[in-house]
Structure 1
Amino acid sequence: MAIKKSELYSSLWNSCDELRGGMDASQYKDYILTLLFVKYVSDKYAGKEDAIIEVPEGGSFADMVRLKGDKEIGDKINKIIGRLAEANGLKGVIDQADFNDEAKLGSGKEMQDRLSKLVAIFDGLDLRANRAEGDDLLGDAYEYLMRHFATESGKSKGQFYTPAEVSRVIAKVIGIGPETRQDQTIYDPACGSGSLLLKASDEAPRGISIYGQEMDNATWALSRMNMILHGHPGAEIWRGNTLADPHFKNPDGSLKKFDFAVANPPFSSKAWTNGLNPENDEFKRFEYGVPPAKNGDYAFLLHLITSLKSTGKGAIILPHGVLFRGNKEADIRRNLVRHGLIKGIIGLPPNLFYGTGIPACIIVVDKENASSRTGIFMIDASRGFEKDGNKNRLRSQDIRKIVDVFNNRIELPRYSRMVPIAEIASSANDYNLNIPRYIDSSEPEDLHDLDAHLSGGIPVRDIDALERYWSVFPTLRDALFRSNGRAGYLEPKVEPAQVKATILAHAEFAAYAARVAAVFDEWRAAHEPRLWALDAGAKPREVVRALSEDMLVRFAGLPLLDKYDAYQCLMDYWAGGMQDDVDLVAAEGWVAAAKPRGIIEDKEKKIKETPDLVISRRKYKMDLIPPALIVGRYFAAEQAEICCLESDVARATEQKEEFEEEHGGEEGALNGLEDEKGTKIAKGNVQKRAMELKDTILKAYSEGTLEHKQAKTIKKTSFGLGYWNKEIADEEGLFEELNVLYDYLQILNEESAKKKTLKEAVDRFQNNILVKYSELTKNEIKALVVEDKWFSSLQAAVESEVQRLTQRLAGRVKELDERYARPLPELEREVEAFSKKIEEHLKRMGLKW
């Protein structure tokens, strides 16, 4: 079965556990990514003729597997990688990591065990069937690892990776798309691991020629491997210092020009002039000005501009300082604006990047329309993000909103604006491009009304500010507020605790919820055929693209509900599991993807899976169809029966606990009968005590110290299910303790019987579920997944967004109510009353002042 993306990620990250301790993340990434590369190309190309990667004899991952437990495993792995590298011209690329380094991997048995376990983890991954056309599971996994490595590597080592979310924004705003030709070119002068180039190339379905240069040797190797894993073995990625020695040049020695260029260079490099005399630059990159010697931000921007064709377009990530710093940088900025080279500026949230926590911006360059440019389009996207550990991340809706607004020049209050060049050049701004000068993204201040605090009532002004709600629910306002007799002020009609319930019960809200549901149903009806038609060979990215694009269109006409919030519901669900489902169907088809698989916990691999079903100690995982879906559609009655039996067990347990509490005190009959740990009363101890008590009673009877006409029945007692008549008693109460013990044993037996009945029912129930999986037809599988799983979950997510709207309105109404509920005179009278009470108490206590 094809491995799910989430499982692949988990397995790969667990493999890092084998290396932690001996080195930091910036080092062990070379080992993990190298093994991933060798495993992938071995699975994909070994034994195939005319493959783009040759897997030579003695140079495959299978050769590594045979080394598990070998005393010379480190040295032999190096040789295997060396053979693969030599056969494909990858010397210095995939052989960066030394698998025989005792300083990092330990010596002797420690290295042998560590590498054997590491190889075993990768050996458990089947990567042959995990690339559907148009999708790239391995490339995504590679990026997943690099993101985590960047997080762990810290400030000095995180610069090799540009967050994928930012890369997607850049790729989409520079104009690459379906019309881009395969012979067009894209270039990154500081390509790092290649993520920016790859995300940009993803936007060109017909292909695009990739060029890049990277100074760091290890990072350059990552980029080369990344290109191959993403299916771009022909990408030209070169080593070297781009500013001092650019590799890509024309025959006449001038810089090669590209159609597109992207970059995320090191921020504010202080060594950018090493090997370079910018005053006499042979490539004429500094015609608009020479950057300061200790800050290379503009050096990379000017290199990017020079590397573009006359119709070229590009984007670069730089710190916000480039927008407003003075002196030499101000001169460069003025020249760039005057020449119309800057098309737009996008301000990003802080703490997105792994090398720094400072906020950055994207400067978009467009040479083609520079001469006619009359304004710069600015976006302040600094407030749209989510927390992800100790970093921030752009959500899917943030990415989409930035791209939509930028590409369509949509002006939104406190978010985006086309700023005229004349305004930028004015004496007040003097070519300062700092975004807050032109876009005030702060929320309006929530002003208090002093008269309302003094005299009571909620200001009409504050209620009018909720007009976006009243326009949709025109009579709801009157249901929540009424006149209090003062002009310009109202009072609440309902108690604060009832505001939300009032909104939910209002006919206009019900009509609005129905309207949203109708839009969802229309969207659902439009895409049900597409999802039912999925099968092996499907293209998951095309699926989510069609679903998401249409969702944005259909939800755009709804008031209150932001279309990007609905879009986020879909994208969250896609990332959270639907993508894995579609990947499985695309790789194997519906029937194979729906089959349960037995799982084994391998302690050596440290990979544990939580089973969906456990039958006869065998664990089963249902990847595509969770058992709950089978139960809901086919076993609802059996589920109800199980619930009843669970209730019976719960009541029996509750009865037992109540009995223990009643008779478990210091003088209770159950005192001292706990198990060795003292955590619970032991049944064996109770039985032992009952038999001791029985023997005592019989002995007393035989010795004549106990006289009772029914005492002889004690002889017939068989504790557990015996004939003991608990009604027997005598004047001295000798049988009372025995009665308690007998009752407790009866309770225990009843609880045990109910638990046994429940277990047997659950075993039958789960076995029936497992059998049902084998009986499902293809159409039944589709109905369970498409209708009961995908659309049902998405509908619930959209409905939760409608509920959030209600919560926001109710929250604001309650806030206003509570803010002005008690005017100042009332509070003063209350303070005065309390003061008098305190004074009276103090006087009675004899205090004088």
Structure 2
Amino acid sequence: MSEAQKKILEQQLWNIANTLRGKMNADEFRDYILGFIFYKYLAEKMEIYANSILKQDNIRFRDIKENTKEGKEYIEAIKEEALERLGYFLKPSELFSEIAKRGKSNTNTFILEDLQKILTNIQLSTMGTQSEEDFDSLFEDMDLNSTKLGKTPEARNAIIAKVLVHLDEIDFKLEHTELDVLGDAYEYLIGQFASGAGKKAGEFYTPQEVSKILAKLVTTGKNKLKSVYDPTCGSGSLLLRVAREVKDVNNFYGQEMNRTTYNLARMNMILHGVHYRKFDIKQEDTLEHPQHLGLQAEAIVANPPFSAKWSANPLFMTDDRFSQYGKLAPASKADFAFVQHMVYHLAENGTMAIVLPHGVLFRGAAELQIRKYLIEQKNYLDAVIGLPANIFYGTSIPTCILVFKKCRETPDDILFIDASGEFEKVKNQNMLREQHIDKIVETYRSRAVIEKYSYLATLKEIAENDYNLNIPRYVDTFEEEEEIDIQAVMREIKELEAKRAQLDVEIEGYFKELGLVF
């Protein structure tokens, strides 16, 4: 698919999404449109798989007569295979195109009840199977009886039918397995919703350019990964971005506190062709109730909520994630609690990269003690990268990326990169372009020292700075201003004053001619 065709597809999907815009806010119509796209994906995937099984019998899945004895036998056989291979099952009458076809008819066919039943049946088909948890309540945010879709059942039916018909006209090219057309389009839509969601956007989406940097940092020197983990995974975009940087990822792990976003992450995984056995996304508070105890991940990425509150319960001093530091991150700022959690789950040969506010670099008290322990006792901090302000949705503050490794190739220094001044302004947002991303990543990989951009600080220097990691202490970006010739400026001022006096004389003459007092 060409870039132009991809853009057309993205625009088509966004136009369909906007069919619902007048009915509800962005959060709500996001859940409906993404849910319908997911249903279409599951249905098309089901049909392609079933047709491949039925090919030897020269029949198509959608042509099976479900109520005949032969039809029931076919369906049971296909169901067994599909639950093993795909993790779910849909009958021919439950396919997206069949429901869309009924919605398209001119007889005002009522499809809402059947559609709600189908979405429930997808989940029920997984009961008692390995994929049950991955499909549990996936469509719970799609209330087809909500008055936000329309005041009457007929109005709701009409708007849903319209959306389904438009979606049915789009070819997601699922048979071309080398293409990830739908996955890309889904990511595009999530990004579009994030750009209009204000502060709430940070809960489910990391801008793609930041995701690229994190993914490239943690995959440096790797072609394959045994595991990748995101403890605040949002919609799962960061996990999937890491997968793009290597040939293969064996397992994806993620945890997300928000229920709706957790559903979005699971859908996103499946839509990108990640097999249900290869991902393990949990819903819970990562710091208070971690769900992947014992995990040692080869790559860890995260964009946690900045300076979030957490309990900082003294009982956590006996938790292996925090006990060795002697202090807990303050209750008002959980930034270092996320760092400690991630370090605990990092494999010996792994790399982790986390986006944080600049305060983590220099704040004192408990945070200083944690910072000092990570550098002085463990020597895990590999790099500090300063990013431009105003690149995240919902906040304009400048941020930084901290990179940690348990087995560092260069244990005697820490790389500082100041990329805060290199961006392109687009409307109200600052954007990192490919050249900006490449420069950050290449500087990290080569550990190059570039004037006014990067610096290798020895551990001794950092200790002398009392473990303050504020980037300007290490990367000098000072631009010397041109010297001012005071004498020349004074002469210029005197000349201007003389000219002004001359102008006053001339103006006074004009006033006299007009009989006015100057």
Q: TM-score range by the shorter chain?
A: 0.7 to 0.9
- SS for the counterpart of 2:295 is coil
Q: Name 2:475's counterpart in structure 1.
A: 439
| Higher deviation after alignment, 318-327 or 60-69 | 60-69
Determine which of 502, 509, 516 is the counterpart of 1:840.
509
Structure number with larger C-alpha Rg: 1
* TM-score (normalizing by structure 1): 0.52
Pairwise CA distance, 1:131: 5.1
Pairwise CA distance, 1:302: 0.1
Please say if 1:424 is aligned against 2:462: yes
The equivalences for 1:229-244 within 5 A come to 229-233=271-275, 234-244=278-288
Gaps of 5+ in 2: 54-80, 127-131
Q: Retained in 2: the 8 A contact 1:176–1:200?
A: no
- SS for the counterpart of 2:430 is strand
Q: Name 1:316's counterpart in structure 2.
A: 354
Please say if 1:187 is aligned against 2:229: yes
Q: Name 2:398's counterpart in structure 1.
A: 359
Please say if 1:293 is aligned against 2:331: yes
Q: Name 1:46's counterpart in structure 2.
A: 47
Pairwise CA distance, 1:351: 1.9
Q: Retained in 1: the 8 A contact 2:233–2:239?
A: yes
Q: Name 1:16's counterpart in structure 2.
A: 17
Pairwise CA distance, 1:286: 3.7
Determine which of 233, 245, 255 is the counterpart of 1:213.
255
Q: 1:238 to 1:847 in 2, by over 3 A?
A: closer
Q: Retained in 2: the 8 A contact 1:348–1:359?
A: yes
- SS for the counterpart of 1:161 is coil
Q: Retained in 2: the 8 A contact 1:174–1:260?
A: yes
- SS for the counterpart of 2:21 is coil
Distance in 2 (alpha carbons) for counterparts of 1:222 and 1:847? 78
Please say if 1:64 is aligned against 2:102: no
- SS for the counterpart of 1:187 is strand
1:22 counterpart letter in structure 2: K
2:511 counterpart letter in structure 1: L
The equivalences for 1:381-460 within 5 A come to 381-426=419-464, 429-451=465-487, 453=489
Pairwise CA distance, 1:27: 2.1
Pairwise CA distance, 1:831: 3.3
Q: Retained in 2: the 8 A contact 1:261–1:315?
A: yes
2:374 counterpart letter in structure 1: L
Q: Name 1:165's counterpart in structure 2.
A: 209
Q: Retained in 1: the 8 A contact 2:31–2:142?
A: no
Aligned residues: 469
Pairwise CA distance, 1:72: 3.7
Pairwise CA distance, 1:241: 2.2
Q: Retained in 1: the 8 A contact 2:219–2:245?
A: no
Q: Retained in 2: the 8 A contact 1:417–1:439?
A: yes
Q: Retained in 2: the 8 A contact 1:259–1:309?
A: yes
Q: Name 1:831's counterpart in structure 2.
A: 500
Pairwise CA distance, 1:220: 1.3
Please say if 1:139 is aligned against 2:183: yes
2:333 counterpart letter in structure 1: N
Pairwise CA distance, 1:451: 4.9
Q: Retained in 2: the 8 A contact 1:348–1:361?
A: yes
Pairwise CA distance, 1:845: 4.2
Determine which of 116, 121, 137 is the counterpart of 1:78.
116
Q: 1:33 to 1:67 in 2, by over 3 A?
A: same
Determine which of 96, 109, 121 is the counterpart of 2:154.
109
Q: 1:452 to 1:139 in 2, by over 3 A?
A: farther
Please say if 1:344 is aligned against 2:383: yes
1:227 counterpart letter in structure 2: M
Distance in 2 (alpha carbons) for counterparts of 1:142 and 1:130? 17
Q: 1:201 to 1:835 in 2, by over 3 A?
A: same
2:227 counterpart letter in structure 1: T
Distance in 1 (alpha carbons) for counterparts of 2:488 and 2:250? 65
Q: Retained in 1: the 8 A contact 2:415–2:454?
A: yes
The equivalences for 1:403-802 within 5 A come to 403-426=441-464, 429-451=465-487, 453=489
- SS for the counterpart of 2:322 is coil
**Moved runs in structure 1, 4+ residues, more than 6 A?**
none
Distance in 1 (alpha carbons) for counterparts of 2:114 and 2:483? 73
Distance in 1 (alpha carbons) for counterparts of 2:503 and 2:394? 59
Q: Name 2:299's counterpart in structure 1.
A: 260
Distance in 1 (alpha carbons) for counterparts of 2:450 and 2:503? 52
Distance in 1 (alpha carbons) for counterparts of 2:449 and 2:288? 41
Pairwise CA distance, 1:188: 1.1
Distance in 2 (alpha carbons) for counterparts of 1:157 and 1:232? 24
Q: Retained in 1: the 8 A contact 2:145–2:153?
A: no
1:316-371 per-position Cα deviation (integer Å, ceiling 9, x unaligned): 1111111111111111111112121110111111222224322211110011128x
| Higher deviation after alignment, 194-203 or 84-93 | 84-93
Distance in 2 (alpha carbons) for counterparts of 1:825 and 1:327? 56
| Higher deviation after alignment, 349-358 or 43-52 | 43-52
Distance in 2 (alpha carbons) for counterparts of 1:190 and 1:76? 36
Distance in 2 (alpha carbons) for counterparts of 1:14 and 1:442? 48
Q: 1:204 to 1:64 in 2, by over 3 A?
A: same
1:524-583 per-position Cα deviation (integer Å, ceiling 9, x unaligned): xxxxxxxxxxxxxxxxxxxxxxxxxxxxxxxxxxxxxxxxxxxxxxxxxxxxxxxxxxxx
Distance in 2 (alpha carbons) for counterparts of 1:453 and 1:98? 70
Q: Retained in 1: the 8 A contact 2:312–2:328?
A: no
Gaps of 5+ in 1: 250-254, 456-822
Q: Retained in 1: the 8 A contact 2:312–2:330?
A: no
Q: 1:47 to 1:848 in 2, by over 3 A?
A: closer
Q: 1:296 to 1:131 in 2, by over 3 A?
A: farther
